[in-house]
Structure 1
Amino acid sequence: MQHQRHPVTSPPRSTRSTIKGEVVVQSHKQSGSGKSASLRLYSSTEVDPKTGKGKLSNQAYLKCGTTKTDDGEKTRTYRVKFQVEPNFGNPGALVVRNRGKNRFFLQSASLQIQNNQIILFDCHSWVYPFRTTKNLDRIFFANTVSCTNTNLPVLFDTTTQLLMLLQKYLPHQTPQALIELRKEELISLRGDGTGERKEWERIYDYDYYNDLGDPDKGEEHNRPVLGGSELHPYPRRGRTGRHPSKADPLTESRPSTINLDIYVPPDERFSPKKQSEFASNSIQAVLHFLTHKVESVIQPGSNHFESFDEIHDMFSRNKSQVVEGALKEKLKALVPKEFFKEVTHAIKNPLKFPVPQIISENEFAWKHDEEFGRQMLAGINPARIRSLEVFPPRSKNGQVSLIEQSDIEHNLEGMTLPQAMNKRRMFILDHHDYLMPFLSQINSKDVCTYASRTLLFLKSDFTLKPIAIELSLPGLEVNNEINWVVLPASQGEAAALWQYAKAHVAVNDSVYHQLVSHWLHTHAVVEPFIIATRRQLSVMHPVHWLLDPHFKDTMHVNALARSMLINSGGILEKTLFSAELSMQLSAELYKEWRFDEQALPADLLKRGMAIEDSDPNNPSGVQLLFQDYPYAADGLEIWTAIQTWVTDFCMLFYTDDVSVRSDEEIQAWWSEIRNVGHGDKSSETWWYQMASREDLIKALTTLIWIASALHASVNFGQYAYAGYPLNRPTLCRRFIPEEGTFEYAEFLTDPDKYYLNMLPERGEMILGIALAEVLSQHTSDEVYLGQRPSTMWIHNEQVSDKFEKFKRKLRMLEERIECKNTDPRLTNRRGHAKIPYMLLYPDTPNVESRGGITGKGIPNSISI
């Protein structure tokens, strides 16, 4: 909190008492040590009648500290003494004034008080110079009170005693001395909605996505505003407040160069350690990209790869010294001088891309039909497939699919189509209706994109066999379509055409994954929840404490995405077939989004992948159609563990439904999420009413699921699967050739060459690989599901016991996942590519200082 300091009259020295403490400051490059900062304490138990707030102590100063380095982190610890009145009571808030010239990172503070108790402040926040913040101090509220002897048994029988220890209060339980401070903090965080935000301002406000275009650079950079309209509804983002562009007053101006320091509130920024790692990972990926770009200049040829071997060579560890020498010379013209030394040092190490898992065991596993189907259940977009309920499929405009029953019944293990559907063994991957309105414009931009429907049959070994693909284009007349049906084949020309059809389906699925499953359904929809939490839930609120780890770094990641990935001319526009229409396509799919359907059980029921189960021993409430659906099977267990933890936590603080309805902060929080953060959905009736503990538990469980497990499932496998672009291409340059055309003759001459020329150009492929490499990286400061960023809370036995129960459950799930991955009956957990399904493997015991592309581990938050 930014806090205006109040004058205080010092009591006579002879009547003062002393409170001793320690303050820990993290040392970072380009930041201060905190030396000479002043601190004061607010009482949580004694009110100053002049201010209506807790009594204030005298000032203490950070003077001489001791420095320690642990695991590369340097900290400086200061010992402080506060002079207070004898009846000061217990401290409840710490006021910090930075009198230096540089910001510093305040890690924590601890105070020793009477009865062998310690009051702890878990700060983890930047404190900016007092002159910069316009004479506003920072205030931190106590996190816990603990006994100095942690071996003493601490047992609590009542909610009141629990809250006193944890120092987390529902609004009506706030100590009188802290009520005004609690209100002032929230008001200060909301700001007034005006002005351009500065680096040091802790202001949380909403805005439309009006910063994706850059019309001042030319008409080709115009992009519509997303959010605030029926045509382009969208979740809100954090407001930056930059001035309007000159060419379009509705569009916010953009920096003239790529800006890695785009505004987000200071507490939402990467840690210096993560900032360094993220930059290093990005540079490495860029070097990989430049290596192959330079090689293509040194060894000029087609813009397309000429053979599969040439693509595989990108992942080889061998590289000629001639290429290395030429690379250095070319890089001199591409890399700023100040970075060239670092770059050339990196060249000493192999600069080929690491081998993606999809080709590490079997270079051609991705070509198998069963692997194609398996990735719909265990790949990086496992929540799009659904049960086929109507045959033949129909478009929204009523046009009927051309797939005929006779085309597919020979692939149904002796069953008729109605029998297979009745037994719930027919499935569809549908990328048709949402794409059709965009295809004419998309295909005018030198790409060739179909809308697709893929029918699949669940075989008796529970693998999915694709049995028909329908590809569609808009016809000349409105609501008319041109459709082709492609059927599986194992040899000859028909087999090649079938492979081409699968590539076009993979293109559809890749773009949907990146724009919707990944960006929209995790990154974009969570940001309004973060903003509302900061604005409406005090840090003293237990739900704020519960959610805080699940928001780590998300706003900063999203800001970087708006700066480099989803903006006009950004990486996604360069690599996806949707190009400049990408975010409009995302907005179109937001029209279908419902928060309640993001709950995994509800999603599975909606897609017909599970049925309701009333067994009281099944807390998820659903039963899968078949267990060999790795994403759903592991996901339901993770979901249930989160749900149990959230239920246990909420039951400690809310005694009944009335306590939820009467919680003014929770009600304001939920209202703001619905009416502002997701304001384009405010009239929908599916929002939870937030009238009961059950409503609150459902909302919190769903939010934590999205931020942790759902994001992990669609993000950290990107390099494993999309790092090999033939498995997950993102655009096609050619349609499937039709008999009697020049293209068909070209296809007959060399089917493999036609296939390679159909896929993205060399530079687009390499850029996509580099992006997948960056997005799949874990950083070493990550905090994982079942972990907390600080141990300062664990002195409360009831909360600690519930959290330990959660961790034990996650560890049990790890053992179950390992067993399932070695079960030969569960074919979909490894497939032809021999990739064990680990994307929902929590990895709780092995998370310290881990980084890199691991393909496992569930971070608490959307942090990359």
Structure 2
Amino acid sequence: MPSYTVTVATGSQWFAGTDDYIYLSLVGSAGCSEKHLLDKAFYNDFERGAVDSYEISVDEELGEIHLVKIEKRKYWLHDDWYLKYVTLKTPHGDYVEFPCYRWITGDSEIVLRDGRAKLAQDDQIHILKQHRRKELEKRQKQYRWMEWNPGFPLSIDAKCHKDLPRDIQFDSEKGVDFILNYSKAMENLFINRFMHMFQSSWHDFADFEKIFVKISNTISERVMQHWQEDLMFGYQFLNGCNPVLIRRCTQLPPKLPVTTDMVECSLERQLTLEQEVEGNIFIVDYELLDGIDANKTDPCTHQFLAAPICLLYKNLANKIVPIAIQLNQTPGEENPIFLPSDAKYDWLLAKIWVRSSDFHVHQTITHLLRTHLVSEVFGIAMYRQLPAVHPIFKLLVAHTRFTIAINTKAREQLICEYGLFDKANATGGGGHVQMVQRAMKDLTYSSLCFPEAIKARGMDSTEDIPYYFYRDDGLLVWESIHSFVAEVVGLYYESDQVVAEDVELQAFAKDIYVYGMRGSKASGFPKALRSREKLTEYLTVIIFTASAQHAAVNFGQYDWYSWIPNAPPTMRAPPPTAKGVVTIQQIVETLPDRGRSCWHLGAVWALSQVQENELFLGMYPEEHFIEKPMKEAMARFQKSLEAVVSVIAERNKNKKLPYYYLSPDRIPNSVAI
């Protein structure tokens, strides 16, 4: 009587084990087995982290095993079970792997294919075609699109975290509950004691130190010490939290009527401003904020926004410094151009307004829209259109881990009406929604292609702009990912024709275009993928956005935003309309009050934390791929990333302001916080 050895691995996360009855049956080319109860007498099967083996005898040979059916039935109370994989040793001594890495909930059945990645056109056997189709039909019912706000990329149809399919929920909700994390941050940072003075102002800049905790964070301490300096101000456009807005200025805009006479004392090359524009002038324009409604959720506190234009200069030391700031878009007598030669506090307040505006664009556009919401689109489309056996699903699933869950939590608690975002931010109360709706027109495919985005802003020359570490490190990481993805595409797609004929891949790309980009031709997102080269680039965009880009704009928030005057989340007085009238007292009364400062500090601390047991770029503990060439490609990818880590570590040696956000050992695989 033929006998199979079945090995079943249970996950090691909390509550992964089960006491329910587990049945297994085999479907082969020559027949199907009976349903077998997997049970060892006097032994507790399927405990968390366990690997259990069973002998299964069948009446006759089953031939090549196509499918393994796992059925879970209630023993006492329903408990979910996380099944990692099943392996099978056949009567002939062959081993077959069946990856799962899914939760089995309630009384249900799950059907697994062996781990070899297959395109739809590779499947010729009816039962495998049917399995593929049924899996997608089920997923498309579970993963439905929803419009959270008009004009937004569509998101998952779920009101709260517990409504999500179990496979994409967090292992423990506690770890991502924003309210709990805020409270924990308040406690850890010793700032609860200021909340009773919620709407009172600080006395002076030094007063902010009362909530500034020195937790061996060299960057945040250096920001506190040097935030008023022009060099520190300029440096942040290159390597701070929002290093994506600065662009080379090739022509002075008419709406910023700055002249050589105004900025002559800042120019170091004895050239006119028009001559300096030929290579040494840069600009950051916050036009997106023009007309956005400021937060009115608290009738006791007025909050204000501005839409500055900031002109920057590369000095003889190749450092970027500000030389002119206009605080709103329309020039005029009540919208003066502030200069470094102005009175100290005039210039300082102008810079603070720019930093506050930068904070708003960073949080809502650079961070929320262009990493969180975009990555959710990629994830939903993947689950809807790519079955688990598809090589692109196997490649991308690690880079969608917890993304839909964290975004659902954010919509539930953080960016919803009266959510935590409203407590401290001037763009709360609906302004952030208006911003996303406006910014969608600039959410293009090319702007997510890292090398193209850098080049489009004129920031690609390492000789002209030598201290742009975000660019330098990002290009290294992009190239590592691109080379790895090219290998993967080469393994599974023999030609461009195979790419074009992959109906599931085309449905995936179409879902992203139609639902994510709302069918906008201007977005430049392809409706279909017709070549291996284009597919490689497309997958690199997805992985880079979810991993490196999110890391670059998320994990520095405590570093750069914990010193409140450097990144005010709100301003309590309108921008100055004249020069020579600003006092330090006026600045302090414009900055956030004590309560909003505390909320802000708690937020940036919580958002800067990595998940427990985080998986970093190149780590693939879930073995969805079983083929040796693929595992070798992964090993090469890991070595490539290790080389990037070494380059960045060497560059950072002895730096007073090290840049490490794009070091691969600090880049989580996915958007999960």
* Alignment TM-score, normalising by the size of structure 1: 0.72
What is residue 450 of structure 2 aligned with on the other side?
A: 600
**Residue 511 of structure 2 is aligned to residue 672 of structure 1:** yes
Q: Does the 8 Å CA contact 1:810/1:842 hold for their aligned counterparts?
A: yes
Matches of 2:485 and 2:42 in 1, distance apart?
40
Residue 735 (structure 1) shift: 3.2
- Residue 683 (structure 1) shift: 6.7
CA contact (8 A) 1:439 1:474 kept: no
User: Contact conserved, 1:358 with 1:724, CA < 8 A, in 2?
Assistant: no
Tell me the residue number matched to 2:233: 372
Shift of 1:22: 1.8
Q: 1:129 to 1:602 in 2, by over 3 A?
A: same
CA distance in 2, matches of 1:278, 1:783: 21
Matched, 1:77 2:54: no
Work out which of the residue numbers 79, 82, 94 in structure 1 matches 2:68.
Answer: 94
Q: Which amino acid aligns with 1:723?
A: S
SS in 2 for 1:364: helix
Residue 87 of structure 2: aligned partner: 110
Deviation string 1:184-216 (CA, Å, 9 cap, x unpaired) is: 11111111xxxxxxxxxxx1110101xxxxxxx
2:280 to 422, 425, 429: 425
Give the aligned partner of residue 313 of structure 2: 457
Give the letter for the 1:664 counterpart.
V
| In 2: Cα distance, 1:301 partner to 1:785 partner | 41
Deviation at 1:63? 4.4
Which residue does the alignment assign to 2:526? 687
1:42 aligned to 2:23?
no
Residue 541 (structure 1) aligned with residue 350 (structure 2): no
> What is the Cα deviation at residue 354 of structure 1?
3.9
Find the counterpart in structure 1 of residue 10 from structure 2.
Answer: 25
Q: Which aligned pairs between 1:513-532 and structure 2 lie closer than 5 A?
A: 513-532=362-381
Deviations 1:652-678 (CA, angstroms, capped at 9, x unpaired): 111111000111111111112112332
How far off its partner does 1:596 sit? 2.6
Q: Which amino acid aligns with 1:369?
A: D
Q: Decide whether the 8 Å contact of 2:652 with 2:659 is kept in 1.
A: yes
Q: Please say if 1:575 is aligned against 2:424.
A: yes
Q: Please name the residue that 1:487 is paired with.
A: 339
Judge conservation of contact 1:450–1:471 (CA < 8 Å) in 2. yes
Give the letter aligned to residue 391 of structure 2. Answer: P
Say whether the 8 Å CA contact 1:550–1:707 is kept in structure 2: yes
Q: Is the 8 A contact 2:178 2:414 kept in 1?
A: no
Q: What amino acid does structure 2 have at the position aligned with 1:815?
A: S
1:709 and 1:189, CA in 2 relative to 1: closer, same or farther beyond 3 A?
A: same
Letter in 2 for 1:435: L
Report the equivalent of 2:242. Answer: 381
Residue 408 of structure 1, CA deviation: 1.9
Which amino acid letter does the alignment assign opposite residue 191 of structure 2? H
Alignment match, 1:859: 668
Q: What is the aligned counterpart of 1:180 among 126, 130, 144?
A: 130
Higher RCO (Cα < 8 Å, 6 or more apart): 2
What residue is the counterpart of 2:264 in the other structure? Answer: 409
2:145 to 201, 206, 214: 206
Does 1:125 pair with 2:64?
Answer: no
Aligned to 1:467: 323
Q: 1:272 to 1:34 in 2, by over 3 A?
A: farther
Structure 1 residues 442 and 411: CA distance shift in structure 2, 3 A: farther
Q: Does the C-alpha gap of structure 1 residues 83 and 106 become closer, same or farther in structure 2, counting only changes over 3 Å? A: same
Between stretches 60-69 and 111-120, larger displacement belongs to 60-69
Aligned to 2:304: 448
> How far 1:599 sits from its partner (Å)?
0.5
Partner AA of 1:294 in structure 2 = R
How much has 1:438 moved relative to structure 2? 2.3
Specify the code of the residue in structure 2 equivalent to 1:17.
Answer: P
Q: What do the CA deviations read for 1:160-200 (whole angstroms, capped 9, x no partner)?
A: xxxxxxx1101111251411111111111111xxxxxxxxx
Larger Rg computed on CA atoms: 1
Q: Name whichever of 667-676 and 648-657 sits farther off.
A: 667-676
1:402–1:470 CA contact under 8 A, matched in 2: no
What's 2:290 paired with?
436
Look up the match of 1:264: 164
Question: CA offsets, 1:714-738, max 9 Å, x none?
Answer: 0011111112212111111123555
Change (3 A) 1:183 1:468: same
Name the CA distance, whole Å, in 1 between partners of 2:13 and 2:634: 32
Counterpart secondary structure, 1:522? helix
Check the 8 A contact 2:14/2:48 in 1, yes or no. Answer: no
Match of 1:12 in 2: none
For 2:474 and 2:263, the matched residues in 1 are separated by 32
Whole-angstrom CA distance in 1 between matches of 2:257 and 2:506:
51
The answer to whether the Cα contact below 8 Å between 2:179 and 2:413 also exists between their aligned partners in 1 is no
CA distance in 1 between partners of 2:658 and 2:62 (Å): 60
- Structure 1: gaps (5+ residues): 1-15, 49-54, 131-135, 144-166, 192-202, 210-224, 227-232, 243-258, 317-352, 395-399, 612-622, 824-829, 844-856
The residue that corresponds to 1:235 in the other structure is 153
2:292 match: secondary structure: helix
Aligned-partner Cα distance in 2 for 1:407–1:740:
14
- Pairing 1:170–2:119 present: yes
The answer as to whether partners of 1:65 and 1:78 remain within 8 angstroms in 2 is no
Q: Distance in 2 between matches of 1:450 and 1:740?
A: 17
Q: Indicate whether 1:292 and 2:191 are aligned.
A: yes
Contact 2:303 2:573 in 1 (8 A): yes
2:483 aligned to which of 641, 644, 649? 644
Q: Aligned to 1:457, what secondary structure does the other structure show? A: strand
Letter in 2 for 1:184: K
Amino acid at match of 1:306: H
| 2:650 matches 1:841 | no
Q: How does 1:137-152 map to 2 (within 5 A)?
A: 137-143=109-115
- Cα 1:672/1:473, change in 2 over 3 Å: closer
Q: 1:68 to 1:694 in 2, by over 3 A?
A: same
Structure 1 residue 792 displacement after superposition = 6.5
| Alpha-carbon distance in structure 2 between the residues aligned to 1:733 and 1:560 | 29
TM-score (norm 2): 0.92
Q: SS of the residue aligned with 1:437? A: coil
Instruction: Give runs of aligned pairs for residues 496-511 of structure 1, distance below 5 A.
Output: 496-511=345-360
**Which residue matches 1:712?**
551
In 1, the alpha carbon distance for the partners of 2:42 and 2:467 equals: 58
Counterpart of 1:7 in structure 2 is none
Alpha carbons of 1:683 and 1:360: their partners in 2 closer, same or farther (altered >3 Å)?
closer
Shift of 1:789: 2.5
Q: CA offset at residue 138 of structure 1?
A: 1.8
Paired residue total: 665
Q: Write the distance in 2 (CA, Å) between the matches of 1:559 and 1:111.
A: 38
Change (3 A) 1:25 1:234: same
Does 2:632 match 1:771? no
Task: Show the 5 A alignment for 1:335-346.
Answer: none
CA contact (8 A) 2:236 2:243 kept: yes
Q: What is the SS of the residue equivalent to 1:839?
A: coil
Distance 1:472 1:531, change over 3 A: same
Q: Deviations over 1:770-815 (max 9, x none)?
A: 111111111232111111022564x633222222221111111111
The residue type paired with residue 667 of structure 2 is: I
1:802 to 633, 648, 671: 633
Question: For structure 2, which runs of at least 5 residues remain unmatched after alignment?
Answer: none
- Contact 1:454–1:470 (Cα < 8 Å) also in 2: yes
Q: Could you tell me which residue of structure 2 aligns to residue 189 of structure 1?
A: 139
Note closer, same or farther for the CA distance 1:630–1:274 as it changes in structure 2 (3 Å cut). Answer: farther
Do the aligned partners of 2:611 and 2:672 also contact (CA within 8 Å) in 1? no
Is residue 549–residue 861 contact of structure 1 (8 Å, CA) maintained in 2?
A: yes
How many Å separate the matches in 1 of 2:440 and 2:522?
Answer: 15
Residue 287 (structure 1) shift: 2.8
Q: Which amino acid aligns with 1:127?
A: I
Partner letter of residue 40 of structure 1? S
**d(CA) in 1 for partners of 2:515 and 2:624?**
34
The aligned amino acid for 2:305 is T
Aligned to 1:759: 591
| Alignment partners' CA distance in 2, 1:264 and 1:116 | 41
Q: Which residue of 2 aligns with 1:634?
A: 473
Cα 1:818–1:496 shift into 2, 3 Å: same
- Give the CA deviation at 1:113: 2.1
* Distance apart, 1:372 and its partner CA: 0.7
Q: Structure 2 vs 1, CA of residues 275 and 59 (structure 1 numbering), >3 Å: closer, same or farther?
A: farther
**TM-aligned CA deviation for residue 98 of structure 1:** 1.7
